[in-house]
């Protein structure tokens, strides 16, 4: 059962799944002589209504899975 007080602001339900979409680029750094991961972003989406969820709304969940 999901942690209490974690609900999607769009559908108002407690999601049983949250999708994390990581978006970043990888480029070759000639100074380092290797491929490096550039900074990027992650978007969290409610598994029930598929609407984006702000990290502030699921902060406790993200801490549990070391995403924050």
At residue 33, the pLDDT reads: 96
At residue 4, the pLDDT reads: 56
Helix (H, G, I), strand (E, B) or coil at 59: helix
At residue 66, the pLDDT reads: 79
Whole-angstrom Cα distance, residue 68 to residue 60?
9
Per-residue confidence of the chain (68 residues) as pLDDT tens digits?
A: 545 578 899 999 999 999 999 999 999 999 999 999 998 999 999 999 999 999 999 998 888 887 76
pTM higher than 0.85: no
Taken in order 62, 63, 66, 68, is the CA torsion positive or negative?
Answer: positive
């Amino acid at each position: 059962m999901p942690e209490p007080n974690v609900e999607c602001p769009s559908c108002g339900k407690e999601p049983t799944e949250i999708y994390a979409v990581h978006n970043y680029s990888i480029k070759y750094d000639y100074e380092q002589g290797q491929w490096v991961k550039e900074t990027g972003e992650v978007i969290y989406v409610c598994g029930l209504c598929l609407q984006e969820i702000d990290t502030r709304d699921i902060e406790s969940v993200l801490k549990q899975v070391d995403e924050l």
